[in-house]
Structure 1
Amino acid sequence: MDGQNGGYRPRTAGERTGSAANGDQGVRDWQKNTWFGPAPVNSNPFDEPEDAPELKAIRSENVNEHIGDFWNSPVQGPQDTGSYRQNTQAGSVVKPVRTKTKVTGKKNSHPLRVLLLIAVFVTAVILVLRFAVFSVKEIRVIGNKSIPAAEIIRVSGIHLGDSIFTLNEKKVEEHITSDYRLLFVYMDREMPGTVTLSVAEREPRCWLTYCGIMYVMDKNRMVLYESENPDERPIDLVEVKGLEVRSNTMVGQYVNLGNEQQKSIFRELFQEMKVLSCIDKIADADISNINSILLATRYGFTVALGDANNIHAKLRSMLLVQDKLVELGYSAGTINVTNPEKPMFIPE
């Protein structure tokens, strides 16, 4: 061990670590000036070893203050991102460069805000028009005779304050016709808030007796009322005979017939009577034989119509002949209009 302090001194080139007899080689180049032994104590970490004084000579005294050309030199290579403004003059202070960033959220929110405001405005206008301007304020009823208008309005389902645009005419018709006494004609809207309901009341046109019950019907066989009192038979209505009634019928229902041809004859006969305004001149109609339909007038004449062909012309011919016969003083007999162009009269 070399040295009196127990340390090691550095070996110089040419010294060997062992004897030549042991085959030791000399100190290699990378082993030169190598310190062996414990690290020095109580030493300045910025001081260079005694064997490299040239490093200490060139060390800057301002290394901790970041003053000097090194710290003010521009960044080279890939570190130059353009985010900082560099100044190469000595003693200048480096200031960061602020880049403008686009704020897209606010700009994009403006169209959405405008659209939202427009939607709110349009909704408010629609609500005002629906509930304040174009709402039902008046309901008129035309065509009714015995049924009060207030009852028809109640049945229709229309209420004051309803939107005039949302009224469904089909549903209004269903509501009105649910009352068997009423027929729906049309519904009219008059802006901004008036609704007109046109209806027709079913009128009694004829009657028949089935199982001791009298059924009063309209021209479509709808039963309007019934009675078991024979003294209540309406003298101003046509009594229908010979119909093949299939079952008992209730008020508000159609008389159920078993003969389809009788249904067709009944409908056409009373339709033509209404057109010619002669229902009040006919006392009864016998449809028991569909090929030989017979009528009895209130003047005492019997009318032979034949089949159901050309009923309109036959009824018209019968009316002309009867008026002429009454004028001539006849009060009974048979008027044959099976050929309406050549009527025949057979007196009694």
Structure 2
Amino acid sequence: MHPVIIDTDTAQDDCVTILLGLLDPACDLRAVTMVAGNVTFERQVHNAAMTLSVAGKLGEVPLHLGCDRPMMRPWVSAEDVHGDGSGGLSMEFDESVVDPKHGVDALIDAVNAEPGEISIVAIGPLTNIATAVVKDRSFASKVKSLYVMGGSNNGRGNVTPSAEFNFYVDPEAAQIVMDAGFKDLKIVTWDPVTLVDATYSREDYNNLCRFKTPIGKFFRRVCDATLDFNESVGVMGSTHPDSITLGALLHPELVLQEGSYRVDVECQSTLTRGFSAMAWDKYDLEPNATVFEKLDGQAFYRILEGILATETQPSREIEGL
């Protein structure tokens, strides 16, 4: 089993990622840490708690509140894409579901307790990870592997023509992470990997939604709004970049092609803020990341089917499910 912490801005596929972490036998999910991103901070914490609940795991996996804004910039949301990130679902929520330890301290303490053993899957802006790097300069050297969903491989963005959302929201944090010296930094991109390998047509999506389990019904509610938005902007399917990032860690056979790159994130330009420049071996620069170039989307689809078919007893009633 892989000891994992998921760092997330919970909406749509972030929820799916948490479910995968909770229910895949290959994953030992140690904690979930929250970072400002997709939707309001309060809303995404609620979404994470509901996800833990629908899997029957609320209270079993610590939920930590991390940085509620980017390091140097105002927060930018993706509510136009995801709505509230949960399809209007709600659950009775109280502070007892949240661990009092700050998310950054939880990350630092976990890797200090088990150096070289914990993998982190960062599927939101990289504010928490960068803050941990700044607070504890040994942090990067003690993380077994860091899997990041972010950027595009010199390709198109999804929040601007040049930038993917996670890198755009906090480009300074992303660059700190690129420079931190993580010994095993893996990146799943928006373009081309998500658009080619982790986007499922409406027909395939409807097939995933056939399961009448609590998790199956939850999946449809949290993903419907994003699919509708995607189709309105010419992305013809349900996108699952976050969950396939965890999938690539848990199931290395999903990785069909990868390359070593020097990755840097644009922080100065207004026009290309958050652009990820990925330099291959032609440029004689020291690589700092492995960038996945092709993943087995069909094999991952079958993994999702197994997760969605799993029967669970939700920890708390979820209204609207």
TM over 0.5: no
For the pair shown, the structure with the greater C-alpha radius of gyration is: 1
In the superposition, the TM-score normalised over structure 1's length comes to: 0.21
Higher relative contact order at CA 8 Å, sep ≥6: structure 1 or structure 2? 2
In the superposition, the TM-score normalised over structure 2's length comes to: 0.22
Structure whose residues are more often helix by fraction: 2
